[in-house]
């Protein structure tokens, strides 16, 4: 089986490619990337005016299995991923039960084989039950194929526990992804602590809660000479802390979400819980700082923090609604519209942060159009204008703050291992 | 200014931030007429006859709930009270479904008290009857803001340029927020003082709002002092060391009163902790309008209901 994607702008940051070229897929692998490939293909995809890039990677999603299938499952979540142009997603372990054993990792891999339309990587818990007390069996989970470890959603309260985990994990060369908010400062908080929260009488989640958490976890990683990945960074000071640490040679990496790159706490409306996320939407100085950090390499990758909840969970009083919203199906459109089209971010950097860079940090066999690589390929139409409509989402989640926005740019084809799984927004049954 | 053009019929009363100066003025003018009704022997007018009102209270309340209930009844409306403890809310019914149930019974207005900030905004989005916010967490309590404006206006004859001090727990106070919004709209200068632990860090980066380090500076030459209730659980939460120290440093007493203007007016939203945030001498003294606030509350709520349900045709 040969598929030829013809005449697109091929952006493949892993191989320093940005040129008009054809991509030839053969038997599920990348066979060739060159101008005017003459080959008798079974399928020819005309990609004139389109962007052809490695399949997008999202290292921070919540597919909610096991135990929270009302919010999302592997089928709905990975369809949402394919619809958004993603070919690899890594799912967080804050499920019920928490994914903290090799048996659970293997069972999820099995579920992925049955139900997923894109590649699913499993992130294991750092501590048992994500309680921050006893170390989870990270060695066994590594052997079972866990891609990284995280107590996402929780901050590891004990510095000693985290230091032990850093030390222990060095033998396995895996990364810990830390949710950075010092809990005593964000207790009951529902939005950024700012003028807006003060006016609304809402309890705040101050930037300093993130900053001291980032500082502590970097300091511990530096002390232990361990690797640490800062999840969904959102504050200006935290970006500065990561930048300084990288300069010192600390093995720290960081990720940011489209929402933290484009939205501020002024957008919080009491009647709509869609803007309720952790860490919260910050202020414009923070938005500018995370964007600057993304551009200068302080922040390594873009993730969605796709956090779907059931409609009835989000549809309630703002302060009682759970945090998070589904982001897989809107990320490309939001980034292209608000950052690339406005000239704030170049598209090559954007794609690099969603392909080559996460692949490098998490050592994935993905994120590149190099010959012999799995043919995970995304075709993006940068001109396609579309309106975000929840009814068309594949995710079970609702309450996206982007609903109703008209965006310019969308993934129109997603290939996983050479197989077309999404075409013009429709998931193909394979 | 053309108040004749103001028509509030159908408007949700969620926060004073949503009201213009003219709209506030119109309500205050009507409240004056309503107050006359309360003084009549037969306190009943037909302005809202045939209208039905539900009070939906998720939090305990004595004065606000009964004040709204009497306001509705004096105007001839049918008023039904629902409290969280004795309704299907204890069976876990969602706010949306409770609102739908009440709406389906054909009510014209829902007066809602809820401990979640934003609950009233959510209710207004979900339900079609007029929503009147009778307090949502620390966010807003617009009828209290209006009755404070009304009380001050009655005593001072004007609002523009007055110095209004608010003392105490600003962070957790919907009364403070409604006061700030209402007073600023009407050109009143707002001065705040209280423990810094109970003062939002980023609130008052705005003109006409002054945050003071001590109570004395806030009440110096004040025309009005509004003393907020201090909840004792704030001390347990580590926000001030002891009631004794609070009373000494932040309480309003006769000695501090002397710093304000000679004709200073003292307000308190109730219920009071006498001896803590306010001394009994001040609470019951010549400057206190605390009882009057309660009566004005009924008048102002009558005005609010009339405007929101009928557009303010004469009572």
Could you tell me if residue B251 is inside a domain? yes
Give the span between the Cα atoms of A86 and A335, in whole angstroms. 14
Q: Is B139 on the interface with A (CB under 8 A)?
A: yes
Burial (Cβ within 10 Å: 0-12, 13-18, ≥19) of residue B280 = exposed
Hey, which residues 225-284 in chain A have their CB within 8 Å of chain B? 269-272
Could you tell me if residue B19 is inside a domain? yes
C-beta atoms of A201 and B116 within 8 A: no
Same domain, B7 and B111: yes
Could you tell me if residue B287 is inside a domain? yes
Give the span between the Cα atoms of B250 and A57, in whole angstroms. 56
Tokens of A366: 């993905």
- In this structure, are residues B302 and B31 in contact, taking their beta carbons and an 8 Å threshold? yes
**ipTM at complex level:** 0.90
Give the span between the Cα atoms of A78 and A120, in whole angstroms. 8
- The boundaries of the domain holding residue B245 are 142-293
What average pLDDT does chain B have?
Answer: 94
pLDDT at B1 over 60: no
Same domain, B123 and B198: no
Instruction: Say what the pLDDT of residue B2 is.
Output: 58
Give the span between the Cα atoms of A410 and A166, in whole angstroms. 39
Q: With the CA atoms of B202, B203, B206 and B208 taken in that order, what torsion angle do they form, in degrees rounded to the nearest 10?
A: -140
Please name the member of B122, B172, B204 whose beta carbon is closest to the beta carbon of A270. Answer: B122
SS (HEC) of B187-256 = CCEEEEECCHHHCCCCCCCCCCEEECCCHHHHHCCCCEEEECCCCCHHHHCCCCCCHHHHHHHHCECHHH
Instruction: Say what the pLDDT of residue B315 is.
Output: 45
Could you tell me if residue B315 is inside a domain? no
C-beta atoms of A270 and B200 within 8 A: no
Distance from CA of A390 to the nearest CA of B (A): 18
DSSP three-state, residue B289:
coil
Q: For residue A187, is it left (φ>0), alpha (ψ between -120 and 50) or beta?
A: beta
Could you tell me if residue B179 is inside a domain? yes
Same domain, B76 and B163: no
Instruction: Say what the pLDDT of residue B231 is.
Output: 87
Distance from CA of A312 to the nearest CA of B (A): 9
- In this structure, are residues B158 and B187 in contact, taking their beta carbons and an 8 Å threshold? no
C-beta atoms of B177 and A193 within 8 A: no
* Residue B32: pLDDT band with limits 50, 70, 90: very high
Phi, psi of B72 (to 5 degrees): -65, -45
CA A421 to chain centre: 20
| Closest among A183, A148, A100 to A255, alpha carbons compared | A148
Give the span between the Cα atoms of A410 and A395, in whole angstroms. 17
**pTM (predicted TM-score):** 0.94
Q: Is B114 on the interface with A (CB under 8 A)?
A: yes
For residue B32, the surrounding DSSP H or E stretch is helix B21-39
Tokens of A265: 């706490």
Give the span between the Cα atoms of A217 and A158, in whole angstroms. 11
B123: nearest CA partner in chain A: A271
Tokens of A295: 């551009």
B205: nearest CA partner in chain A: A195
Walk me through the domains of chain A, giving residue ranges and CATH numbers: 2-52+374-427 (2.30.40.10), 55-361 (3.20.20.140)
Could you tell me if residue B221 is inside a domain? yes
Q: Which of A199, A268, A269, A321 to mutate to test the interface with B (most CBs of B within 10 A)?
A: A199
> Mean pLDDT for each consecutive 10-residue tract of chain A (430 residues)?
97 98 98 94 96 98 97 98 98 98 98 98 98 97 98 94 96 95 95 94 97 98 97 98 98 98 96 97 98 98 98 95 98 98 98 98 98 98 98 97 98 98 92
Beta bridge partners of B209: B190
> pLDDT digit string (tens) for B67-80?
999 999 999 999 99
> pLDDT digit string (tens) for B118-148?
999 999 999 999 999 999 999 999 999 999 9
How distant, in Å, are the alpha carbons of A139, A212, A271, A382 from that of A209? 31, 6, 26, 38
**Any long-range contacts for B96-105 (C-beta under 8 Å, 24+ apart)?**
B96/A315, B96/A316, B96/B126, B98/B56, B99/B56, B99/B123, B99/B126, B99/B127, B100/B126, B100/B127, B102/B54, B102/B56, B102/B127, B102/B129, B103/B127, B103/B128, B103/B129, B105/B52, B105/B54
Give the span between the Cα atoms of A206 and A191, in whole angstroms. 8
- In this structure, are residues B279 and B251 in contact, taking their beta carbons and an 8 Å threshold? yes
Same domain, B133 and B211: no
Cite the DSSP H helix spans in A316-391: 331-335, 347-352, 356-361
Q: What is the DSSP letter of A116?
A: -
Distance from CA of B116 to the nearest CA of A (A): 6
Instruction: Say what the pLDDT of residue A430 is.
Output: 66
SS (HEC) of A200-215 = HCCCEECHHHHHHHHH
Cite the DSSP H helix spans in A145-257: 159-169, 183-186, 195-200, 207-224, 236-248
pLDDT at B25 over 70: yes
Same domain, B249 and B206: yes
Could you tell me if residue B158 is inside a domain? yes
Q: Angle at CA A400, nearest 5°, toward A399 and A404? A: 105
CA A199 to chain centre: 32
How distant, in Å, are the alpha carbons of A18, A382, A390, B117 from that of A337? 20, 9, 18, 33
Same domain, B183 and B288: yes
| Closest among A290, A379, A296, A301 to A338, alpha carbons compared | A290
Residues of A with catalytic function: 305
Tokens of A407: 């965006």
Give the span between the Cα atoms of B224 and B261, in whole angstroms. 8
Give the span between the Cα atoms of B189 and B104, in whole angstroms. 44
Give the span between the Cα atoms of B201 and A12, in whole angstroms. 47
C-beta atoms of B201 and A193 within 8 A: yes
Q: Is A188 on the interface with B (CB under 8 A)?
A: no
Cite the DSSP H helix spans in A2-101: 74-83
Characterize the bridge pairing of strands A2-12 and A17-26: antiparallel
Residue-wise DSSP of A260-299 = HHH--GGG--TT-GGG--SSPP--HHHHHHHHHHHHHTSS
For residue A114, the surrounding DSSP H or E stretch is helix A102-115
Give the span between the Cα atoms of B275 and B251, in whole angstroms. 8
Same domain, B173 and B124: no
Same domain, B7 and B85: yes
Hey, which residues 195-214 in chain B have their CB within 8 Å of chain A? 200-205
C-beta atoms of A317 and B119 within 8 A: yes
Question: Tokens 């928490």 map to which residue?
Answer: A98
For residue B68, the surrounding DSSP H or E stretch is helix B63-74
Q: Which of A270, A272, A286, A399 to mutate to test the interface with B (most CBs of B within 10 A)?
A: A270
Distance from CA of B117 to the nearest CA of A (A): 6
A279 cis-preceded (ω within 30 degrees of 0):
yes
B179: nearest CA partner in chain A: A199
Tokens of B230: 């201090």
pLDDT at B257 over 60: yes
Same domain, B188 and B222: yes
DSSP three-state, residue B89:
helix
* Residue B87: pLDDT band with limits 50, 70, 90: confident
Please name the member of B121, B138, B174 whose beta carbon is closest to the beta carbon of A271. Answer: B121
Q: For residue A153, is it left (φ>0), alpha (ψ between -120 and 50) or beta?
A: left
For a pLDDT cut of 70, what percent of chain B falls above it?
97
Residue-wise DSSP of B119-167 = HHHHHHHH--SEEEEEEETTTB-HHHHHHHHHHHHHHHS--TT-EEEEE
- In this structure, are residues A307 and A401 in contact, taking their beta carbons and an 8 Å threshold? no
Tally the domains of chain B. 2
Same domain, B277 and B180: yes
Same domain, B298 and B267: no
- Domain CATH code at residue B73: 3.40.50.1370
- In this structure, are residues A79 and A86 in contact, taking their beta carbons and an 8 Å threshold? no
C-beta atoms of B122 and A317 within 8 A: yes
Same domain, B22 and B53: yes
Could you tell me if residue B157 is inside a domain? yes
């Amino acid at each position: 089986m040969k598929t030829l994607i013809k005449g697109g702008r091929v952006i493949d940051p892993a191989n320093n490619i940005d040129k008009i070229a054809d991509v030839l897929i053969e038997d599920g692998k990348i066979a060739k990337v060159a101008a005017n490939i003459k080959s008798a293909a079974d399928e020819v995809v005309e990609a004139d005016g389109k962007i052809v890039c490695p399949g997008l990677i999202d290292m921070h999603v919540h597919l909610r299995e096991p135990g929270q299938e009302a919010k999302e499952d592997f089928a709905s979540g990975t369809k949402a991923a394919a619809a958004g142009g993603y070919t690899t997603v890594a799912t967080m372990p804050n499920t019920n039960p928490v994914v903290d054993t090799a048996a659970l990792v293997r069972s999820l891999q099995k579920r992925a084989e049955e139900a997923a339309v894109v590649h699913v990587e499993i992130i294991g818990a750092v501590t048992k039950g994500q309680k921050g007390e006893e170390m989870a069996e990270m060695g066994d989970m590594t052997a079972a194929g866990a891609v990284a470890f995280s107590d996402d959603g929780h901050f590891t309260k004990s510095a000693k526990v985290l230091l032990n985990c850093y030390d222990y994990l060095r033998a396995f060369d895996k990364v810990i992804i830390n949710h950075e908010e010092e809990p005593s400062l964000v207790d009951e908080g529902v939005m950024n602590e700012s003028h807006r929260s003060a006016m609304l009488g809402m309890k705040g989640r101050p930037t300093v809660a993130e900053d001291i958490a980032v500082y502590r976890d970097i300091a511990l990683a530096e002390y232990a000479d361990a690797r640490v990945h800062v999840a969904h960074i959102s504050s200006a000071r935290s970006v500065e802390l990561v930048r300084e640490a990288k300069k010192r040679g600390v093995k720290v990496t960081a990720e940011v979400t489209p929402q933290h790159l484009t939205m501020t706490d002024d957008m919080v409306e009491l009647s709509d819980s869609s803007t309720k996320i952790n860490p919260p939407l910050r202020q414009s100085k923070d938005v500018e700082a995370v964007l600057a950090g993304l551009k200068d390499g302080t922040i390594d990758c873009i993730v969605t923090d796709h956090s779907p909840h059931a409609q009835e969970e989000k549809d309630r009083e703002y302060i009682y609604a759970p945090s998070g919203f589904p982001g897989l199906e809107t990320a490309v459109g939001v980034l292209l519209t608000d950052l690339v089209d406005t000239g704030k971010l170049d598209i090559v950097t954007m794609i690099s942060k969603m392909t080559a860079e996460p692949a490098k940090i998490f050592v994935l066999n993905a994120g590149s159009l190099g010959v012999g690589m799995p043919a995970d390929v995304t075709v993006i139409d940068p001109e396609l204008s579309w309106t975000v409509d929840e009814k068309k989402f594949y995710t079970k989640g609702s309450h996206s703050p982007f609903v109703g926005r008209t965006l310019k740019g969308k993934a129109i084809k997603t290939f996983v291992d050479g197989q077309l799984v999404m075409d013009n927004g429709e998931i193909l049954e394979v | 200014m053309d108040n004749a053009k103001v028509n509030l019929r159908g408007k949700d009363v969620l926060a004073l931030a949503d009201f213009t100066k003219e709209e506030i003025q119109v309500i205050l003018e009507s409240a004056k007429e309503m107050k006359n009704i309360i003084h009549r022997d037969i306190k009943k007018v037909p302005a809202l006859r045939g209208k039905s009102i539900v009070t939906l209270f998720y939090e305990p309340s004595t004065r606000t709930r009964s004040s709204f209930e009497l306001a509705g009844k004096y105007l001839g409306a049918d008023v039904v009270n629902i409290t969280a403890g004795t309704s299907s809310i204890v069976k876990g019914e969602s706010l949306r479904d409770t609102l739908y149930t009440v709406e389906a019974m054909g009510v014209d207005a829902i007066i809602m008290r809820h401990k979640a900030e934003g609950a009233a905004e959510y209710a207004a989005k979900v339900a079609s009857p007029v929503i009147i916010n009778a307090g949502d967490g620390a966010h807003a309590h617009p009828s209290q803001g209006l009755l404070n404006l009304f009380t001050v206006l009655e005593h001072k004859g004007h609002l523009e340029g007055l110095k209004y001090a608010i003392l105490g727990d600003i962070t957790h106070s919907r009364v403070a927020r409604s006061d700030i919004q209402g007073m600023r709209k009407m050109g009143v200068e707002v001065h705040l003082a209280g423990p810094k632990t109970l003062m939002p860090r980023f609130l008052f980066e705005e003109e006409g709002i002054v945050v003071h380090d001590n109570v004395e500076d806030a009440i110096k030459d004040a025309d009005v002092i509004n003393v907020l209730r201090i909840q004792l659980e704030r001390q347990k939460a580590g926000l001030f060391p002891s009631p004794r120290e609070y009373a000494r440093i932040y309480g309003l007493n006769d000695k501090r009163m002397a710093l304000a203007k000679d004709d200073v007016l003292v307000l308190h939203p109730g219920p009071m902790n006498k001896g803590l945030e306010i001394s009994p001498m001040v609470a019951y003294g010549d400057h206190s309008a605390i009882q009057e606030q309660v009566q004005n509350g009924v008048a102002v709520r009558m005005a609010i209901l009339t405007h929101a349900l009928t557009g303010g045709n004469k009572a």
